[in-house]
Structure 1
Amino acid sequence: MLKRQEVKIVGMGGQGIMVIGQLLAHAALIEGANVVWFPCYGPETRGGLAECTVIISSDEIGSPVTSTPDTLIAMTQPLLDKFAPTVKPGGVIFVNTSLAQPPKYRDDCKIVEIPANDIATELSNPKTANMVMLGGYVELMKPVKLESLKASLKEVLPEHNHRFIPINNTALDKGAEVTSR
């Protein structure tokens, strides 16, 4: 039976934060879990705060809001600094080390370092850094199967972006490789 997982995903507008939150939520739905996806945007049109919370559970979910998530996926330093203190003791913090340094003050959490932007650049598509992070998270935490995420790409991405599904699949795999070592 699936244990409840609460993950907060944070980055700047344009980094695909909402997309990976939607993918995770959709994958959980197709696997039969209860799930909520709660987006939050900053006031800026572009380049501002992008944050979403995804809660996946085998039980009913009473609220889409969590002030102390089990897991944080942080794409940038300012948002890592802002949200790392909110992670529950014993939680997991995924850090995009291409753009952020892991917090040294959270010795009560597991820190997972993924150079997502560097890996995405090696794939010749820097915009897939979000998928690298998501692949790493799913491989380590197992909230859903990687195959369910890949199946969700066709449903979540707009049709005009379906040509990017193969590179997104590759990015998910590369992220999974990092955390499976």
Structure 2
Amino acid sequence: MNDGAREIEVKYRVRDAEALEQALARHGLVLSAPVHQDDQAYAQAGWEYGMSKVGVAFARLRTQDGRHLFTLKKPLDNEMACLEHETEVADRDEMHRAILAMGCYPTVRIVKTRRTATSGELSLCLDKVEHAGVFLEVEKVVGPGESGPEVQAELDRFVRSLGVDVERTTDTYDSLVRATLV
């Protein structure tokens, strides 16, 4: 992602994945083949669930198709409007130890099956998240001058235009998974 660019997203609990797929197809969007993602989430020392995530950096280690990705997200406007940095790493275990040495601690493991599609500048993800359910994420990368909440309203209008029964959530996957495990 370019310097200063932010990832803005909206997330919805999906009640009927088949109906959603049909609605996407009517809009000319076909989902990719499923991929398995195994994510370990990390938080900065001193941060705990229940505290605001805004302004706090969070790390993630993801393994997908034998590749390991390190991601740092820092929520700015809200939990779904983040400054994001991501890079591939050669050794997941070594990166895990490095993250711990930087003062972060592991929070929850998020395992999911993801299917994706794109529509112009929008990225769509249909995720089946273990312990949490099925979700639709719609994301857009924007420049530093754009309002996260305004972009989220635009993304919400797009999702609502699909005409499917979904429930918007402002929780991130780590919070959703954790809520089912505690």
Bigger Cα Rg: 2
TM-score, reference length from structure 1: 0.28
**Structure showing the higher helix proportion among its residues:** 1
**Structure showing the higher strand proportion among its residues:** 2
